[in-house]
Each structure stands twice: as structure tokens, then as C-alpha cells.
Amino acid sequence: MVTGGTRGIGAAIAERLAADGWDVARLGRADADVADRDAVNAAFARVRVSRGPILLLVNNAGIRADGLAISMDHDDWSSVVDTNLTGAFNCTKAALPDMLKARYGRIVNVSSVVAERANPGQANYVAAKAGLLGLTRTVAREMARKGVTCNAITPGFIATDMTADLNGDLAGAIPAGRVGQPEEVAAAVSFLVSDEAAYVNGATLSVDGGLGA
């Protein structure tokens, strides 16, 4: 299950995992709002019935609604935290019973390079993405003896719809001198869900051209 698998990074992840041999279900807003736990449970149940237990979950669905904290609309705070953080919790909770039963599971949370620093104008987004790292580490510890791993990716500036409105000059601030491509994030996810990564748990893997270094 790849949330936000309809576009951008999520679509690249879904395509890469399918090429790796996974039977991939993609969840977009038309299927379920990740912030709505009843809708998530119903969507996961539909996938479970049609395709079997959910043993891989990529919590990738996300939005941004920028503004300085002093003037941030409360709805913009809530929508970003509800989608980017609570959405990941809702999906994790919906998938874990299948993973526990199978004593096998892979969860990857798509956080952001900004999660470990400040990013003025994104208090809601940074708080949600930082919270996602805490969720990642805690689920990793809780599930470590059950064959389930939970890791995070922190992408930097990746060329998608989400960043289409941002100033192209930002590339100059990236040590690699260019923005990243969704496929480069997907390659990292592919590793984290592989059998070779069975001992990688609670980790945060940066895919940011050195931006967070």
C-alpha cells in the first residue's frame, strides 16, 4: 500500500515497487482521505479482500499549506498535521494487524529534510514531519521482535507538483546543484523494504543531495 501513490514521489515509489515484484495498491484522495480513520479502515479492508494482507506500507501522502506561525490559519495547521502525521498513524494502525499475523512487515514513512531543522513559513509541515520521525522510531521499537521494520526517508527538494510553485533558484542552495527526482526517493524505499534491509529499523535515510548534511 502506497499512500499518495497517484502522483509525484508516491507514483514513482509504486512503480518501482511493482517493478521489484510487489503487488502494489495506490491510495489517493479519491480512494480515501488518510486523515479520516474510518475511510482508511474501509479502504484497507477493500484492498485486503481483493489482494490479501497488507505487508508493506509507504506513508507518503502529504500536503503543505505554508504561512508564518503568527498568522497561520488554524485550519491550515490542522489539515497539514491531520494529513501528514495523523494520516500516517491511521494507516499504520490499519496495516499492523496483518503484519503482526504474518510476523513480517515493512513500513516506510516519507518525512522531509525540514523535519530535523527549522523552516520558516512551515510550522505546521515541519511539526508534522518531525512528529513522523518520532512515530517511525517508536513503531520500530515496538515491532522489532515481530519481523516488522519501520523506517523514514527524508527527501530534500524533489521535482513534483508539490514544489512546482517554488522558486527555481532554490537549486543553487542544494549541495548537489540540482533538484532530486521522484525515482531517486523510490530507489531508497526499494532498499528499505527489501529482505537485505531486515536489520535496518528506526532509521532515517536522507535523499536530499546533501541539503541536510
Q: Does 29 bind ligand NDP (CB under 6 A)?
A: yes
Instruction: Return d(Cα 206, Cα 5) in angstroms, integer.
Output: 20
- Residue 43 sits in the site that holds ligand NDP (CB under 6 A): no
Beta-carbon-side half-sphere exposure of residue 61 (alpha carbons within 13 Å):
31
Spell 52-84 as b/e; 16+ CB within 10 A means b. eebbbbbbbbbbbbbeeeeebeeebbebbbbbb
* Catalytic option among 61, 125, 182, 206: 125
- Which C-beta is closer to ligand NDP: that of 30 or that of 70? 30
Question: Catalytic site residue 125?
Answer: yes
Binding of residue 121 to ligand NDP (CB under 6 A): no
For 114, other C-beta atoms within 10 Å of its C-beta total 18
Cell of 25: 495498491
User: By rule CB under 6 A, what count of residues binds ligand NDP?
Assistant: 29
Can you tell me whether residue 96 is helix, strand or coil? helix
Mutual orientation of helices 87-102 and 123-143 as an angle, nearest 10°?
Answer: 10
Report the alpha-carbon distance of residue 80 to residue 85 in Å, rounded. 8
Please list every residue from 73 through 102 that binds ligand NDP, using CB under 6 A: 83-84
Q: How far is the CB of 115 from ligand NDP (least distance, A)?
A: 9
User: Looking only at residues 2 through 21 of this chain, which bind ligand NDP when binding is defined by CB under 6 A?
Assistant: 3-4, 6-10
Pick the binder of ligand NDP from 72, 81, 127, 162 (CB under 6 A): 162
CB 64 within 8 A of CB 125: yes
User: With binding defined as CB under 6 A, does residue 61 bind ligand NDP?
Assistant: yes
157 binds ligand NDP (CB under 6 A): yes
158 binds ligand NDP (CB under 6 A): yes
| Residues catalogued as catalytic | 125
* Binding residues for ligand NDP (CB under 6 A): 3-4, 6-10, 27-30, 33-35, 60-63, 83-84, 110, 112, 155, 157-158, 160-163
